[in-house]
Amino acid sequence: MSIDILIATFREIAEQTIPELNTNSFIQTLSEEIRKNKYDIQDQTFIETSLGDDRASFVESFIDLFEKHIQEVEDRILYLDSNEGKAEVITLFIKNIDYTVDFCYNAIISKQFSQT
């Protein structure tokens, strides 16, 4: 899996929906966090397929996670400029990747059970 694809997707999301977020300040950290998860080949395939075939759902899912979280924050700009805010955005993006992988596994399992 190319981390570059995930980083490009993140940048796209940030530019469109979180313009006050300075992505340049933590892209390296995001890359490191993605690498730490050590997705196996099947996970990587699910991620690449989701980003290729259903990118809009992936983007929408992250935006939903982010918006739910940011509603509780008093000063959005100050929070997103803080280390805590940046760490939380990274955590939310990783969660979204994990949710995508879990969704794919669940879809396969459901399909197998429905055929038996």
> Residue 73, exposed/middle/buried by CB under 10 A (0-12, 13-18, 19+)?
middle
> Angle 3-17/27-36 helices, nearest 10 degrees?
130
Q: Is the pLDDT of residue 104 over 90?
A: no
Model pTM score:
0.87
> Residue 56, exposed/middle/buried by CB under 10 A (0-12, 13-18, 19+)?
exposed
Per-residue model confidence as pLDDT tens digits over 43-98: 988 898 888 888 888 999 999 999 999 998 889 889 998 999 999 999 999 999 99
Cβ atoms 51, 93 nearer than 8 A: no
Quick one: which of 97, 22, 23, 11 has its CA closest to 62? 97
